[in-house]
């Protein structure tokens, strides 16, 4: 025969089961990172993009400016070359700036305070997957520069 206390304990164990409930931790999510405006420099050039994050189907303009005093060798027909790659290194775009006037190509000598600017616009395909992309900019014999930007909305980090 069960005493009232043992009966209550038996009833409690039967009602609750033999396993203890273990609380599960809720993952802490951080918001997607905000990208700074892309820029890079190596004397005598500076490269920028007009936005850090772009939606598929829109455009990004890359600008590279050479500043004096400097002398550069720049191709006249395709002065600034841009190659955009995805996170796996696959090239998704390559383009060139418009032909340069004779004063901004071949041997370009820039006096102190003078500059020459070149631009390429990337028409981002509407079907391109979202993610981080790298643009490599080459202007003649100036140092190659890279910029990182996001296409679409970057996911939150959980």
Residue 102 has what pLDDT? 86
For the CA atoms of 105, 106, 107, 111, the dihedral, rounded to the nearest 10 degrees, stands at -10
Q: What is the CA radius of gyration of the chain?
A: 29
Give pLDDT tens digits for 42-91.
999 999 999 999 999 999 999 999 999 999 999 999 999 999 999 999 99
Distance CA 39, CA 4 (A): 78
Phi, psi angle pair for 42, to nearest 5°: -155, 120
Residue 98 has what pLDDT? 92
In this predicted structure, the answer to whether residue 35 has a pLDDT above a threshold of 90 is no
Domain extents in the chain: 45-150
Residue 94 has what pLDDT? 97
Neighbours of 11 (CB within 10 A): 11
pLDDT category at 134 given cuts 50, 70, 90 is very high
Specify whether the CB–CB gap between 58 and 124 falls below 8 A.
Answer: yes
Q: Which residues contact 48 (CB under 8 A, 6 or more apart)?
A: 37, 38, 39, 62, 63, 64, 147
Distance CA 142, CA 46 (A): 10
Mapped onto helix, strand or coil, the DSSP state of residue 15 is helix
Superfamily of domain covering 45-150: Immunoglobulins (2.60.40.10)
Average pLDDT rounded to a whole number, residues 9-38: 59
pTM of the shown model = 0.76
Per cent of the chain over pLDDT 70 is 75
Distance CA 149, CA 35 (A): 7
Examine residue 136 and say whether the peptide bond preceding it is cis (omega within 30 degrees of 0): no
Phi, psi angle pair for 150, to nearest 5°: -110, 140
């Amino acid at each position: 025969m069960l005493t009232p206390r043992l009966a209550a304990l038996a009833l409690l164990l039967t009602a609750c089961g033999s396993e203890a409930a273990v609380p599960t931790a809720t993952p802490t999510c951080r918001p997607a990172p905000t990208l700074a405006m892309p820029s890079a420099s190596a004397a005598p050039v500076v490269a920028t993009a007009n936005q850090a994050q772009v939606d598929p189907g829109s455009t990004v303009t890359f600008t590279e400016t050479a500043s004096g005093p400097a002398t550069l060798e720049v191709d006249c027909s395709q002065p600034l070359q841009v190659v955009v790659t995805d996170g796996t290194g696959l090239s998704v775009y390559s383009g060139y700036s418009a032909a340069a006037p004779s004063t901004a190509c071949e041997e370009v000598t820039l006096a102190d305070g003078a500059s020459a600017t070149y631009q390429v616009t990337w028409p981002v395909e509407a079907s391109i997957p979202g993610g981080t992309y790298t643009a490599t900019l080459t202007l003649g014999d100036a140092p190659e520069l890279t910029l990182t930007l996001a296409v679409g909305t970057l996911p939150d980090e959980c």
